[in-house]
Amino acid sequence: MKLDQEDNRDVKKVFLEQYCQLLDSLGGSNLMTETETNCLEEIFNDENMIHKVNDFIEIWEKRFKFVGDKIFSRIQSEKKGFKKAILRNSEVLEYKLSGIENFYIYYYSTIQMGFFLNDNKYKDKLKKVLSSVKEESEKANIVNWTIAPSKDTEYWLYMYVHNFEAKKLEEIEKHVLKCLDNLVTETKKIIGN
């Protein structure tokens, strides 16, 4: 399998992130501080506290869905041109460009945005659009996107948020909406619509 430059860069980035985590782990970040030890001791000495912590962890695991759904609702109420639809058994918000059959810009509530296309005519150009939006987004340091690797037979070309830790909901929403606006604007330039 031959990787293009963009895929190669993403693979290197993931490798380096994992390597940094390993170095942190080996360098002592896995050692607990006195505060952490005291906190855990307090939790484990109170059965009610254990239940509360477990309930919180269960809720926290749903944060991507929660944020994605909030943005989905906001796009639906604020963004002209986006309409709710079912594409390949998934509920999405789609933006149809006039005159192009079976092509949509879409937003999916797992905080994923990109393209649905039945023909590969624009695929390479659209990959560049995704890369451009991702690079512009990374400058703001609010969310981290991953561009999904695509095969020529796939109908989806997209990027998804894989991290938005320690950011306020409003900040994330505003940023993702800006990225979606950029995606639409850049796509219209490429396709000439």
Q: What does 59-104 look like in DSSP terms, one character per residue?
A: HHTTHHHHHHHHHHHHHHHH-TTEEEEEETTEEEEEEEPTT-TTEE
The Cα–Cα gap between 161 and 189 comes to: 24
Q: Which two tokens stand for residue 55?
A: 């309930």
Whole-number pLDDT of residue 13: 76
Whole-number pLDDT of residue 122: 82
pTM for the full model?
0.73
Whole-number pLDDT of residue 129: 92
Whole-number pLDDT of residue 193: 57
Calculate the alpha carbon distances from 101 to 119, 161, 185 in Å: 9, 28, 19
Whole-number pLDDT of residue 1: 45
Q: Which two tokens stand for residue 61?
A: 């695991």
Whole-number pLDDT of residue 133: 95
CATH code for the structural domain at 63-191: 3.30.1460
Calculate the alpha carbon distances from 3 to 8, 95, 152, 184 in Å: 6, 30, 13, 27
**DSSP strand pairing (112-117 vs 82-87):** unpaired
- Write the CB contacts of 74 (distance below 8 Å, at least 6 apart in sequence): 173, 177
Q: Which residues of the chain have pLDDT under 50?
A: 1
Domain ranges of the chain: 5-60, 63-191
